[in-house]
Amino acid sequence: MPRTALTDRLMQDLPLTAASFIVTVYGDIVVPRGEVLWMGSLIEICDNVGISENLVRTAVSRLVSAGSLLGERNGRRSFYRLAPAARAEFAEAAQRLFARQTEPDHWFILHAPDLGEETAKRFRMARMGGDVWLCPDRGDRPTGASLVLRTQAEDAVALQKIAAFWDLTSVQGRYEAMLARFSPLHEALLVGETLAPADALTARLLLVQVYRSALLRDPGLPAAALPDRWQGAAARRLFDDLYARLSPLADAEVARKLEGSDGPLPAETPETINRINNLA
């Protein structure tokens, strides 16, 4: 899959590491198609965004060491699948990308010593001070966190004060950057321009990469708590429509180019179809 002008435009000034892009490939392509990918396919798809074979092999080795991937061999070929510990994390990210989220109406104040950064991000938590954290009540909380208070904010002033605990400026910047990067492609498709299947797949992977980096940092606060001109809703609309428009060609390219342990990956599965339906 050679580099094209479209790929170069979408990648312009985009910080892209091998490990994060491999996570995107697994989350978008591999997880809903059996969770297993041939190393040769991974090398090919990463080469299309300028990630070399050496960088891919190094990143995969590190993901194996971190417990995210498991390797297996079939003759001279190496395949990698999700490790059990990574499945829940991938499922949660997919839920945020492809399923509708409800606004929280209650909040937890928690005492959570030794809370890691990834756990705090996963539960959309904000530090109030020391080991005391604030997070939306979405039905669960980190293991080991003690409930101090469950409360409800009933007016816009209270919600704005709650929102001040999160760095929404940084999240807003990510949404704005995503809109600036992908709106020209979306507008081109709306007026009838077409893409090569390889370009459609690359564009969709980069769309997921960029949107996920903003979405997983967004605490998902109620609309009344958000600052003026918040771009989260516009970014969601762009993601939903552009992902759906790119998918027919992208999924066809997956079936033509990528292999799992049982042969070529399927273009569609019940899970990929469900993702598209959820975006409609």
pLDDT, tens only, 19-28: 999 999 999 9
Biggest CA–CA distance in the chain, Å, is 64
For 217, the token pair is 């940092």
For domain 5-100+167-279, give its CATH number from 1.10.8.100, 1.10.3720.10, 3.30.1330.50, 1.10.10.10: 1.10.10.10
Query: Which of the given ranges, 31-35, 118-122, 177-181, 223-227, has the highest pLDDT on average?
Result: 177-181
Q: Taking residues 132-147, what's their average pLDDT? A: 82
- Residue 2 binned pLDDT confidence (cut-offs 50, 70, 90): low
H or E segment and range at residue 115: none
Buried b or exposed e, range 253-266, using 16+ CB within 10 angstroms: bbeebbbbeeeebe
If we measure between CA atoms, which residue out of 160, 88, 84 comes closest to residue 118? 88
Q: What percent of the chain has pLDDT over 90?
A: 55
Res. 138 pLDDT band, cuts 50 70 90: confident
Distance separating alpha carbons of residues 184 and 242, to the nearest angstrom: 11
Residue 168 backbone phi and psi in degrees, to 5: -70, -20
Q: What value does the mean pLDDT take over residues 29-50?
A: 94
Task: Tell me which residue of 192, 199, 278 sits closest to 239, measured CA to CA.
Answer: 278
Structure tokens at 265: 């990956």
Does the pLDDT value for residue 202 go beyond 80? yes
CB atoms near residue 202 (< 10 Å) = 25
Residues 6+ apart with CB under 8 A from 253: 1, 197, 198, 200, 201
Look at the alpha carbons of 240, 246, 249, 254 in this order and tell me if their dihedral is positive or negative: negative
Q: What is the pLDDT of residue 3?
A: 61
pLDDT on residue 1: 45
Buried b (16+ CB within 10 A) or exposed e, 103-135: ebeebbebebeebeeeebeebbbbeeeeeebbb
Report the pLDDT value the prediction gives residue 129, as an integer from 0 to 100: 84
The token duo for 53 is 């074979």
Average pLDDT over residues 25-37: 93
Compute the distance between CA of residue 261 and CA of residue 145 in angstroms, rounded to an integer: 41
Q: Is 167 helix (H, G, I), strand (E, B) or coil?
A: coil
pLDDT at 151 over 80: no
HSE (CB half, 13 Å, CA atoms) of 102?
A: 6
Over residues 245-268, mean pLDDT: 95
The strand pair at 77-82 and 263-264 is best described as unpaired
What is the pTM (predicted TM-score) of this model?
0.88
By CB neighbour count within 10 A (0-12 exposed, 13-18 middle, 19+ buried), where does 190 fall? exposed
